[in-house]
């Protein structure tokens, strides 16, 4: 059986609203208008042990709600969820003993005491025997370079340092599943790269299943073999990043730098959908499914005095934007 299985999960929230103006404000004292927001509509998927899954979607799509359901915080109105054989919201304590959660925008460390104290608290909470705790802390300290941070109160850490500590805190008890909710938000490039590297290694060495929600598509590209897209509470895509690219970003771009300013010939090679010339930079868009790039390059080489030529994929961000647009999510 899969490690994580969701079937037909639905969850709605009631949101109160009130029109603007004094009259409406007064009225709302006695009668409140509410409406139902369907956060999740019949979501279902299954994830095997050791998978690294990217969970993407626009703001308000239901990503965080799904994570909250899976971590036992929210009870859905409908549907079934089995994680490691347990229903999260029914056996919350036993369930959460086996998972780790990192929220990029929320801290789970104690603000005013040194990180080490927070870690020891977690040791007691998860009942980790002293020898295993020491071993694990050593491992994480080396991998995340925490040596100097352990004695500093959390409030004095920079965001990047704090994030490393948060990740270590979530992994101390060796969870089998790790939920990461926007873990790289606000991090600088170096911190991002090293955090990704660490997550990848943790996944490979310890087989920790990871589910990553993010808006940073570079995270997904660097880490995830599988991508799930959610929008308006529905699961819209579930597959590899490669397939996603082929479906939503088939167009590639050729960017060529020319040796001198030239008049462009009339008849261009077939397969080029559109092109433009700006000074010495020539850009052409083509469909990678029907036109192999090397044919275009050799054809262009005959026509133009090329100095340099690069073939680019559409960036993942552009792809996701076009996907959201085509699925009417934006």
Partner 1 sequence: MHKKDRYKKEEKTDPGGRNPAAYTDYKSPKKAYLAIFRIQFLESIQYRAAGLTGAATSIFWVLIQIVVYTVFFTYADNVSLPGVSNGMSLSQTVSYVWLAEFLLLMQPSNFNPDILRKIESGDVGIELCRPMDLHSLWAAQNAARAVSPLLWRGVPILLAGFLPPPAWRLGPPASPLAFLLFLVGCVGAWILCFSFSTFLCVVRLNVPWGNGPCYMIFLLAMVLGGTYLPLQLWPDFLQPFLLLQPFAGYTDLPLRLYLGTMPLSDAWLLLSLPIFWSAVFLFWGRRLMHRRLKTIVVQGG
- Quote the DSSP letter at residue 265: P
**In angstroms, what is the minimal distance from the CB of 274 to partner 1?**
38
| Cα distances (angstroms) measured from residue 277 to each of 149, 263, 280 | 52, 10, 7
> Residues 133-172: x/- map of binding to partner 1 (CB under 8 A)?
----------------------------------------
Cα gap 110→144, rounded to integer Å: 19
SS3 of the chain: helix, strand, coil, percent, to 5: 35, 30, 35
Binding status of residue 1 toward partner 1 by CB under 8 A: no
H-helix or E-strand spanning residue 189: helix 189-206
**Please, which residue, 98 or 283, has the CB nearer to partner 1?**
98
CA distance 27 to 288: 59
Strand arrangement of the beta sheet that strand 33-47 belongs to: 33-47, 4-17, 78-83
Report the nearest approach of partner 1 to the CB of residue 257 (Å).
43
Identify the three-state secondary structure at position 158. coil
Structure tokens at 193: 């790269």
Q: Which of 204, 173, 194 is nearest to 99 (CA)?
A: 173
Out of 20, 23, 106, 294, point to the residue binding partner 1 (CB under 8 A).
106
Q: How far apart are CA 96 and CA 72, in angstroms?
A: 7
Among 54, 58, 76, 175, binds partner 1 (CB under 8 A): 175
CB of 228 to partner 1, least distance (A): 17
**Closest to partner 1 by CB, 168 or 241:** 168
Among 9, 56, 96, 249, binds partner 1 (CB under 8 A): 96
Which is nearer to partner 1, 75 or 291 (by Cβ)? 75
Alpha-carbon distances of 245 from 288, 289, 307, rounded to whole Å: 11, 11, 29
Binders of partner 1 among residues 58 to 77 (CB under 8 A) are: 59-60, 63-64, 68, 71-75
Site for partner 1 in 182-241 (CB under 8 A): 206-207
Question: Which residue stretch of 19-27, 55-63, 243-251, 286-294 sits at the interface with partner 1 (rule: CB under 8 A)?
Answer: 55-63
Two tokens, residue 329: 């999510």
Assess contact for 21 and 97: CB atoms under 8 A.
no
The answer to whether the beta carbons of residues 105 and 185 sit under 8 Å apart is yes
Nearer Cβ to partner 1 (52/296): 52
In whole angstroms, the minimum distance from the beta carbon of 42 to partner 1 comes to 20
Run of H or E including 277: strand 272-278
Q: Which is nearer to partner 1, 112 or 147 (CB)?
A: 112
CB 224, min distance to partner 1, A: 20
Alpha-carbon separation of residue 142 from 119, 136, 137, 200, 330 (angstroms) = 15, 10, 8, 15, 42
The verdict on 328 binding partner 1 (CB under 8 A) reads: no
Which residue number, 171 or 284, has a Cβ lying nearer to partner 1? 171
Residue 253 interacting with partner 1 (CB under 8 A): no
Q: How far is the CB of 273 from partner 1 (least distance, A)?
A: 38
CB of 154 to partner 1, least distance (A): 11
Q: Looking at 93, 189, 190, 310, which residue binds partner 1 (CB under 8 A)?
A: 93
* Selection from 264, 267, 288 nearest residue 276 by Cα: 264
**Binding residues for partner 1 (CB under 8 A):** 13, 59-60, 63-64, 68, 71-75, 84, 92-94, 96-99, 101, 103, 105-106, 108, 110-113, 117-118, 120-121, 124-129, 132, 173-176, 206-207
């Amino acid at each position: 059986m899969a490690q994580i299985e969701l079937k037909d999960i639905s969850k709605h929230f009631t949101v109160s609203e009130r029109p603007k103006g004094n009259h409406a404000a007064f009225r709302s004292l006695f009668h409140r208008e509410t409406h139902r927001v369907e956060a999740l509509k019949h979501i279902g998927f299954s994830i095997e042990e050791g998978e690294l899954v990217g969970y993407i979607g626009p703001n308000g799509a239901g990503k965080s709600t799904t994570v909250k359901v899976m971590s036992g915080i929210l009870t859905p109105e409908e549907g079934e969820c089995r994680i490691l054989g347990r229903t999260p919201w029914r056996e919350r304590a036993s369930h959460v003993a086996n998972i780790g959660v990192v929220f990029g925008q929320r801290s789970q460390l104690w603000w005013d005491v040194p990180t080490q104290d927070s870690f020891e608290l977690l040791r007691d909470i998860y009942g980790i025997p002293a020898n295993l705790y020491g071993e694990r802390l050593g491992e994480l300290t080396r991998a995340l370079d925490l040596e100097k941070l352990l004695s500093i109160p959390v409030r004095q850490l920079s965001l990047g340092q704090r994030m490393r500590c948060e990740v270590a805190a979530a992994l101390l008890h060796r969870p089998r599943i790790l939920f990461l909710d926007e873990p790289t938000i606000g991090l600088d490039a170096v911190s991002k790269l090293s955090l990704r590297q660490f997550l990848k290694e943790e996944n490979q060495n310890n087989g920790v299943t990871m589910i990553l929600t993010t808006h940073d598509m570079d995270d997904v590209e660097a880490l995830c073999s599988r991508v799930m897209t959610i929008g308006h509470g529905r699961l819209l895509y579930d597959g590899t990043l490669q397939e996603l690219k082929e479906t939503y970003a088939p167009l590639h771009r050729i960017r060529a730098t020319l040796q001198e300013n030239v008049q462009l010939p009339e008849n261009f090679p077939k397969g080029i959908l559109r092109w433009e010339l700006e000074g010495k930079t020539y850009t052409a868009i083509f469909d990678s499914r029907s036109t192999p790039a090397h044919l275009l390059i050799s054809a262009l080489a005959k026509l133009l005095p090329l100095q340099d030529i690069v073939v680019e994929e559409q960036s993942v961000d552009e792809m996701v934007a076009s996907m959201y647009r085509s699925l009417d999510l934006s």
